[in-house]
Each structure stands twice: as structure tokens, then as C-alpha cells.
Amino acid sequence: MCTQKLSFYFLASILIFYSQWVDASNSRREDSLVYKLNNITEKEKSFTLLSELIEHTRTYDPKKAIIFATQGEILAKNKKDNNWLAKFQLEHGNLYYVLSTYDKAIAKYFEASDNFKKSKNNTNLIQCYNNIAMIYDRIGEFNNAIDNYQHAIYQFHVLSDKDKKKLNHFKPKLYNNIASAYNKSNESIKAKEYYNKALEEAYVIKDNSIIGSIYNNLGIIELNENNFIKAKDYFMAAIEVRGKDTISESLSATYNYLANYYILINHFDSAEWATHKSLSISEPQKLQELQKASHYSLFNIYNAKHMYKEALAEHITYKQLSDSIINTQKLARISQLKVAHELEQIEESNKVDKTRIRYRYTILIILLTALLLISILIVRLTKAKQKILNEKYNKLEQDVESKNRELTTNVMLLIQKNQVISDVLKDLKALKGDTRKNNKVTIESIVLNLQSHSNKEIWTEFELRFMQVHSNFYKNLLNAHPDITPTEKRLCALLKLNMTSKEIASITNQSLRSVEVARSRLRKRLGITRQDESLVKYVESF
């Protein structure tokens, strides 16, 4: 017992000593970089040193890293260097992202993306879009996430061949990310499409880590869609790929997915084997999330096999791991909130030149007030203009309606006139049989003259009045159907006035049957094939 206590204290002493040594080492490196920064005047070297300080301090003191990022932004603004300004804004955003302060992180990323555009730095612009998309993904705004991933992919395509080679490792990750966003949006077809694109790119660069992840993701989709054979094939492919590189955490996850597959098809012995394979990897590595998933699978397996004692033991272990993970996450979140609060205090305490800031705010308020007044004036002028336009439009509508009524009245008068002429012609034809030969020729001439003059006069007057009201009708109709005949064009005009077949027959001196046949031919000419589609409504649309 004493020996165990001595061993414990000895180990604790070593850990404390190691922690102090690491802290001292970090402090020495930081002091060295700060000293160099304070004693240098060259712009590029100053930016490089600040970048090194951010990289160095982010691991053990994110507050300092953010302070150095802010210092870098101020220096870059003063030097009017958009590229370095964007780099510091990107680092600033990354630090806020780690602290889960997503509103500040995304604001920095947007600022960085604007400045990378100005400096034409497409390489870093890709990272900005990707990080913006990741935040949208985290907060559940998947459409915005997809849009920004697509922006990143577009920027990748416009890179030079040299820059593309440098970022080859990033392309499959982009496709994988966009696939994940589609999957979360329940668009599995799109998700599979982009996972397969990611797979192709990953094979090009021979990245077994991401290849295994993509196979896992494809397997999960197929499993959710009950495509069990495909799901198993993907999980086995992931195991084969990951087994080559012995990527412990990823391989453990794959065995867990495979176990879920076996559970769903009721192969509980195989599920138990896969779960123990996962645990054999996750337990030595202390991968609690994976252990938790494995113990929950074992609980379900033993429960299904009626091994209730073992199932209870597995559920207890699962609950203990869940509580441990939750407590760890709570502590991490408390630490993040503490750092975020301290940063807010630092930002408040580091405000300089309050008078100048108040002056700027005063100017800004004046400008905003002026803009507001101008906006109100523009809105009022717009409303007044709109009112005048509405009045003109209403008057035009009334004029058109009045002319339509007038046109319809004239057409009806023409119909009546035509009917009278038709009656006279019938009487003349009847008289023709009772007259002498010399008079028959005269009567025949009168009949032909009346028929010709009647048709010509009716259509001349009709088309003149019709064009006054519907000036663009024939133009629009001919643009859509250039092969339409003059007779069909006239029929369309009469239908535009919503005239019945009987009225059309009267004005055109045709039988009702002939008009119906003409309407049927017109439907074919205009391409109206559906029985429920109205010919009149189609013609009225021109």
C-alpha cells in the first residue's frame, strides 16, 4: 500500500514538473518573439512575427492569440495592406470559432473574405468560404452552408495550376463537407453525388483517411435507406482502407457502424464481434465517444439476445461514459465562456482615444440621420410617382375597356348589317328564277357585287377598329406562330373578343359546322393538345 502511494506521488510530481516545464518553455518562446517584434521596423517581418505569435499562443492561451491577431489587424490597416489584414482577420475568426463564439467568428470571416477579394488572394478566400460554411453548418443553416461551400469550390476552379496542386488535399474535404450539408438537409441523392466526387478526388491524392471517412458516410446513408448490402460494402471498404494505415480512431468508428448494420439485420453475434473490435481500439486510446457508442450497441445486442445481466452492465457503463462526456463538455464550455468574457473585458479595457471614437460616432449618426431623411424623401417621391402612374394606368384600363365595348358594339352592328345583306341576297336569288334572261344577268351581277363589297367592307372596318384597341395582338401572335394563315389570324381576333361560334359564323358568312372545324384546325396550329386547355384563354394571352 505504501509502495502504491509512493508511486502515485512520484507520478504526480513528474506531471507537475512536466507541466511547469512546458509553461516555462512556452513563456520563453513567447517572450523571445515579442522582443523581436518590439525591436523590428520592417513591415513584412512584423507581420510574420505576429503570425508566429498567434500560432504559438493559440494552444495554451487563446486570449493572447486574439490580442496578437487584433494587433496584426491594426498594423495591417495602418500599413494599408489588405492581404495581411485579411490573414489576421481569418486567424481572428479561427480563434473565435474554437471558442464557439460563432457570431464574432463569422463576422471576421466576412471581413477577411472582402479583403482577400481586394488582394486577389483566391487561395485564402477558399478557406474563408469553407469556414463560413462550417459555421452555418454548425448552427443548422444548411442552405447557406451549401452556398458558401459552392463558392469555395468555384474559387478552387479559378486557381492557377500551381495553386491547385498546393490545395489538392483540400478539394476532397470540400466535396465531403458539401455532401454532409446536403445529407443534413435530407437531400440524400445530392449527398451521394458529392460524396462520390470527394471519393474520386481523395483517390487522386491517395488520402486513405478521407477515403475511409467517405466510405463511412456513404454507408450510413445506405443504412438509413435500408440498402443493407450497399451499406456493408461501404463499411468493409472503409475497414480495408483504414486497416492499411492503422488509423485508430477512424477504424474504431467504422467497426461501430458495421455493428449497427449487423444489429439492423438481426445478426447479433456478428454485431458483438464488430463492437468488441471497435472497443479494442477505442479503450487503449481513451476515445470516450466511441466507447460510449460501443457500449450502447452491446446493451442493445445483449438485450436482443435475452442476456439481461450483461445488458444491464453495458447500460451502466454507457451511462457512466455519457455523464463523463457531458461533464467534460460542460467544463470545456465553461472554460470557453470564461475566455470569451475575459476577452470582452480586454477589448473594453484596450479602447483607445475615446474622444476620437465619440467624434466618429457623432459624424456617423449625422450621416445616418441625413441618409434617413433622404430615404424618407425618396420613399415619398416614389409613392407620389407611383400614385400618378397608377392613375394613368387606371385611365388607360378604362379607355381600353371603353374601346372594347365600342368595338364589340360595332362588330355586332356589322353582324346585323351582314345579316340584312344576306337576306337581300336570298331575295334576289329567289327573284332570279322568275325574271327574264336579260334581267337574270343583271341580278347575278348585283348579287356578286353585294357579296364582295359586304365581305371587304366588314373586314376593313373590323381590323381598323380592332388594331386601335389591341395594337400589339397580331404582332405577338405572329411572333409566337409565324405560320398562321390570314383566315386563322382573323378567327383569332374574333376569339380575342370572346365571340361565340354562332356570332363568328354570322359575320363570316359561314355555317356553324364550318366555324367549329376552323376552330379545331386552329387548336392544332397553335399546338393546343390538351382537351382541358381553353382556345379562347390561350388567344387572350397575346
pTM: 0.56
Alpha helix positions (H), 350-436:
354-432
Average pLDDT, the chain: 82
Region class of 80: left (phi > 0), else alpha (psi between -120 and 50), else beta = left
Task: Kindly state the average pLDDT of the residues 491-498.
Answer: 87
Cα dihedral across residues 281, 283, 285, 289: positive or negative:
positive
Residue 189's pLDDT is what?
A: 94
Checking if the pLDDT of 403 tops 80, the result is: no
Cβ(255)–Cβ(275) below 8 Å: yes
Residue 307's pLDDT is what?
A: 93
Model pLDDT for residues 418-476, shown as the tens digit of each residue = 666 766 767 676 666 665 666 666 666 666 666 555 556 667 777 777 777 787 888 88
Checking if the pLDDT of 353 tops 60, the result is: no
Model pLDDT for residues 304-337, shown as the tens digit of each residue = 999 999 999 999 999 998 888 888 777 767 766 6
How many CB atoms lie under 10 A from the CB of residue 339? 18
Using CA atoms in the order 424, 428, 429, 433, what is the torsion angle rounded to 10 degrees? 160
Residue 1's pLDDT is what?
A: 44
φ, ψ for residue 185 (rounded to 5)?
Answer: -85, 10
Residue 27's pLDDT is what?
A: 81
Checking if the pLDDT of 142 tops 80, the result is: yes
Residue 510's pLDDT is what?
A: 81
Checking if the pLDDT of 387 tops 50, the result is: yes
Nearest to 451, CA basis, from 486, 410, 423? 423
Alpha helix positions (H), 472-534:
473-480, 486-496, 501-508, 512-525
Residue 198's pLDDT is what?
A: 94
Q: Which residues in 106-121 are b (16+ Cβ under 10 Å) and which e?
A: bebbebbbebbeebeb
Checking if the pLDDT of 405 tops 90, the result is: no
Q: In angstroms, how far is the first alpha carbon of the chain from the final one?
A: 100
Using CA atoms in the order 425, 427, 430, 434, what is the torsion angle rounded to 10 degrees? -120
